[in-house]
Amino acid sequence: PVLPDGWAGTNNFKASGTLSAPNQRNLEPVGPHFLAHARRKRHKRTFSEDDRI
Amino acid sequence: MSGEEEVPPRVAIGISFGNSNSSIAYTTGEGKAEVIANEEGDRQIPSILSYVEGEEFQGTQAKSQLVRNSANTVAYFRDFLGQDFKSIDPTPCHQSAHPKEHETTIAFSIRDSESETPSTVTVSEITTRHLRRLKTSASDFLGKPVTAAVITVPTNCTDAQKEALKIAAAAADLEVLQFINEPTAAVLAYDARPESELSDKITVVADLGGTRSDVAVIASRGGMYSILATAHDYNLGGSQLDQVLMDHFAKEFLKKNKSAGDPRENDRSLAKLKLESEAVKKALSLGASANFSVESLAGGIDYTATVNRSRYELLANKVFASFTRLITGVVEKAGLDVLDIDEIVCSGGTSHTPKIANNLRAAFPESITIYAPATNTSSLNPSELAARGAAIQASLIQEFEKEDVEQSTHPMVTVTPHLRNAIGVLLISGDESKGKFKTILEAETPVPVRRTVHVTTPREGGDVLVKLCEGLREIKVTKPEPKPKAEKADEDDEDDDDDDDEDEETREKVWKVSKPLAEAAVKGVKKGGKIEVQVNVSADLEVVVIAREVGGKNEGVRGVLSKPDVVENGKA
């Protein structure tokens, strides 16, 4: 959408809410993407840190 | 396990261990999963062991012993492993060695040696012998000794059952790298094909077996799978279809041979009837008609007959309808609508039946892909899916240390928050009631997650507002005139009736914005330019949004949404 006149926000950004509470579910520990997820979680890496390796 | 001693590299295969059949599969050097045929050329190896004069037979050879040597033949034992005698249903074993209580476990009394007195063999020992034979077949085929395996199990398999299976496998010198769920293995078998693309989708896996059927709804998000709901039916499977044919042929036989007696009342006749009925059923999945032929069926009379597929489908109509009910039921159980389903994967031997897939085609919307031989030519063999999935997983983790596998499958890793609602941006209008919602992250996506999408901007370019919000899926029902036979309308979402729509009631998926999250302004966008929006959700639900023009020089806008204050979900 077009930016309305008089819109204001710090650094062009305005937060207006937070995410709804999540559902706790069990991931299926299979497949290459899960293994990548498990590796990040165990080493407490973020996505960008993981990308660099 | 990271000891100093030199450990030879593991050779791992995938095993699908079923009550009726088992399969073994490996992954080729090019990463393609292949199912291994045993020495008899079978890829679906009957999970049956039989002993004749102390000699052991397995697979198809053992299966044919059900007629002459049923007391020394063990079949349908997988679900007995790790179980208490009181909790098992011995019905499938009526025509083979009967299970009996033995100390804390279950055993069979069979003559497995040359001696006349039968010995008591536990279900664990039977499983070990079966797995050892599977392992030998795989080792012979691969030309090197197999040492490890990933084994598929049903989703409701208890820890005690897994432990019992692990012990039985260890006794066969087989290291179980991991147990994976049968439906997930089936999805993995499809997703690992080179032509399949990674996408967010909801898959229903219908595993239709011989003595039981299991259905699972799986959300697949960025290649990660979460099971949303499951259903199990222990009285529905291929043996119900065999029974339909057995009854049919037995009645026909009696009509022609009034004096011979009912073949269902004599154990050996019944066993012959069952074997041949199963063969006829398999033939009817491929051809339009099949021959039934048994020598000396009952009273020394040979019997041959023909049945065509439409007759069979008529006879088995009720059973087919139960399959559809089981599958649509689990969709409801997951709190979903048939419109939310993207694909159905038919797995298990009974999925070869064309009518079951055709019934599903009718029960679900046109847009859904149904992977079954009858409805999709690119579908894989339903009998092979679980073994293939296991082989793929085996190839992924066979290099791992045992500890790594254990740590990775630990609940600390697998229990993960999943987004309750979808996150997306509003297009066209900033007004929440009119704007079009474009999904970036679907509901049930596990976090942390990072996703980038490109959104179109107003044609004239200029300053653009990116509006991020949560969206809810709703089913919109549009009905022209009240028609009694309309599909179930489960949402009382009465939208304005469209009068010029002459079709039947139409149901569609629409998005409703439930909660605005953030706004970001991207200034000076070129005419026809696109905006790249990256959403980064952390494990504690903090959201980082980055919006920038594609190919633009500007830095873009970066903003943070703080994590929710109260987490209502108990465990988190």
Whether B521 and A15 lie within 8 Å, measured CB to CB = no
Cβ atoms of B505 and B477 within 8 Å: the answer is yes
Domain shared by B43 and B60, yes or no: yes
Cβ atoms of B533 and B466 within 8 Å: the answer is yes
Q: Where are the alpha helices (DSSP H) in B264-401?
A: 267-286, 309-315, 317-333, 354-363, 385-397
Domain shared by B368 and B428, yes or no: no
Nearest by CB: A2 against B447, B464, B519: B464
Chain A neighbors of B434, CB-CB under 8 A: none
Domain shared by B447 and B533, yes or no: yes
The answer to whether residue B98 sits within a structural domain is yes
Tokens of B506: 């139409």
Give B308's strand partners: B289
Chain A neighbors of B459, CB-CB under 8 A: none
Give the domain CATH number at B243: 3.90.640.10
Q: Residue B275, CB half-sphere, CA atoms under 13 Å: how many?
A: 22
> What is the identity of the amino acid at B215?
V
pLDDT for B494 equals 46
Whether A17 and B515 lie within 8 Å, measured CB to CB = yes
The answer to whether residue B177 sits within a structural domain is yes
Q: What is the SS3 assignment for B34-94?
A: EEECCCCCCCCEECEEEEECCEEEEHHHHHHHHHHCHHHEEECCHHHCCCCHHHCCCHHHH
User: What does the alpha-carbon distance between residue B240 and residue B353 come to, in Å, rounded to a whole number?
Assistant: 13
Domain shared by B201 and B338, yes or no: yes
* B190-194, B326-330, B530-534 — most confident range: B326-330
User: What does the alpha-carbon distance between residue B569 and residue B416 come to, in Å, rounded to a whole number?
Assistant: 12
Chain A neighbors of B562, CB-CB under 8 A: 15, 18
pLDDT for B569 equals 45
Among the three residues B414, B430, B462, which one is the final residue of a domain in this structure? B414
Closest by Cα among A16, A38, A21, A14 to B564: A21
Residue corresponding to tokens 């990660």:
B224
Q: Does A50 touch chain B (CB under 8 A)?
A: no
Given a cut of 60, is residue B354 above it in pLDDT? yes
User: What does the alpha-carbon distance between residue B424 and residue B333 come to, in Å, rounded to a whole number?
Assistant: 26
Cβ-proximal residues to B184 (8 Å cutoff; 6+ apart), any chain = A28, A30, B205, B216, B218, B225, B227, B389
Domain shared by B60 and B123, yes or no: yes
User: What does the alpha-carbon distance between residue B78 and residue B519 come to, in Å, rounded to a whole number?
Assistant: 56
pLDDT for B432 equals 60
Whether B559 and A31 lie within 8 Å, measured CB to CB = no
3 state SS of B144? coil
> What is the identity of the amino acid at B115?
S
Phi, psi of B476 (to 5 degrees): -100, 125
Nearest by CB: B521 against A3, A15, A30: A3
Domains identified in chain B, total number: 4
Q: Nearest 5 degrees, angle CA B250-CA B255-CA B260?
A: 70
Q: Nearest 5 degrees, angle CA B372-CA B373-CA B378?
A: 90
Given a cut of 70, is residue B489 above it in pLDDT? no
Among the three residues B286, B317, B348, which one is the final residue of a domain in this structure? B317
Given a cut of 50, is residue B280 above it in pLDDT? yes
Given a cut of 70, is residue B247 above it in pLDDT? yes
Instruction: Choose the weakest-confidence range: B75-79, B264-268, B455-459, B542-546.
Output: B455-459
Q: What is the SS3 assignment for B147-171?
A: CEEEEEECCCCCHHHHHHHHHHHHH
> What is the identity of the amino acid at B203?
T
The answer to whether residue B538 sits within a structural domain is yes
User: What does the alpha-carbon distance between residue B80 and residue B90 come to, in Å, rounded to a whole number?
Assistant: 9
Note the maximum CA span of chain A: 50
Domain shared by B160 and B215, yes or no: no
User: What does the alpha-carbon distance between residue B459 and residue B485 come to, in Å, rounded to a whole number?
Assistant: 45
pLDDT for B143 equals 94
Closest by Cα among B248, B209, B250 to B232: B209
The answer to whether residue B485 sits within a structural domain is no
Q: Testing the interface with B: which of A11, A12, A45, A46 to mutate, by most B Cβ within 10 A?
A: A12
Whether A15 and B537 lie within 8 Å, measured CB to CB = no
Closest by Cα among B318, B316, B382 to B344: B382
Tokens of B45: 């190896």
**Residue A9 burial (10 A CB sphere; 0-12, 13-18, 19+):** middle
Whether A13 and B520 lie within 8 Å, measured CB to CB = yes
Domain shared by B256 and B273, yes or no: yes
> What is the identity of the amino acid at B473?
R
How close A41 comes to chain B (CA, Å)? 7
The answer to whether residue B176 sits within a structural domain is yes
- The whole domain housing B455 covers 417-471+515-568
Give the domain CATH number at B50: 3.30.420.40
**Residue A11 burial (10 A CB sphere; 0-12, 13-18, 19+):** exposed
CB atoms within 10 A of CB B235: 12
Query: B360 or B480: whose pLDDT is higher?
Result: B360
Phi, psi of B426 (to 5 degrees): -90, 135
Whether A15 and B560 lie within 8 Å, measured CB to CB = yes
Residue corresponding to tokens 């055993």:
B107
Q: Does A49 touch chain B (CB under 8 A)?
A: no
Domain shared by B67 and B174, yes or no: yes
The answer to whether residue B48 sits within a structural domain is yes
Q: What is the SS3 assignment for B490-520?
A: CCCCECCCCCCCCCCCEEEEEEEEEEEEEEE
Give B345's strand partners: B205, B371
Chain A neighbors of B181, CB-CB under 8 A: 28
User: Which tens digit of pLDDT belongs to each residue from B281-328?
Assistant: 999 999 999 999 999 999 899 999 999 999 999 999 999 999 999 999
The answer to whether residue B500 sits within a structural domain is no
- Sign of the Cα torsion B241, B245, B246, B248 reads positive
Nearest by CB: A20 against B408, B448, B470: B470
pLDDT for B572 equals 37
Given a cut of 80, is residue A39 above it in pLDDT? yes
Domain shared by B269 and B394, yes or no: no
User: What does the alpha-carbon distance between residue B286 and residue B408 come to, in Å, rounded to a whole number?
Assistant: 43
- Residue B549 parent element (H or E): strand B543-549
Confidence of residue B566 (pLDDT cuts 50, 70, 90): low
Closest by Cα among B553, B544, B556, B548 to B457: B548
User: What does the alpha-carbon distance between residue B188 and residue B196 come to, in Å, rounded to a whole number?
Assistant: 11
User: Which tens digit of pLDDT belongs to each residue from B191-224?
Assistant: 998 888 888 999 999 999 999 999 999 999 988 9
**B371: region left, alpha or beta (phi > 0 left; psi from -120 to 50 alpha):** beta
Chain B neighbors of A34, CB-CB under 8 A: 223-225
User: What does the alpha-carbon distance between residue B31 and residue B11 come to, in Å, rounded to a whole number?
Assistant: 14
Whether B519 and A2 lie within 8 Å, measured CB to CB = no
Among the three residues B317, B340, B366, which one is the final residue of a domain in this structure? B317
Given a cut of 90, is residue B393 above it in pLDDT? yes
Query: B410 or B191: whose pLDDT is higher?
Result: B191
pLDDT for B486 equals 45
Chain B neighbors of A27, CB-CB under 8 A: 224-226, 413-416, 446
pLDDT for B119 equals 92
Give B51's strand partners: B56
Chain B neighbors of A25, CB-CB under 8 A: 226-228, 415-418, 444, 446
Phi, psi of B21 (to 5 degrees): -135, 155
How close A52 comes to chain B (CA, Å)? 15
Q: Does A21 touch chain B (CB under 8 A)?
A: yes
Domain shared by B425 and B436, yes or no: yes
Whether B467 and A1 lie within 8 Å, measured CB to CB = yes
Domain shared by B261 and B362, yes or no: no
Domain shared by B281 and B323, yes or no: no
User: What does the alpha-carbon distance between residue B458 and residue B455 come to, in Å, rounded to a whole number?
Assistant: 10
How close A29 comes to chain B (CA, Å)? 6
Closest by Cα among B126, B23, B120 to B77: B126
The answer to whether residue B495 sits within a structural domain is no
Given a cut of 90, is residue B484 above it in pLDDT? no
The C-alpha torsion from B227 through B232 and B236 to B239, rounded to 10°, is 80
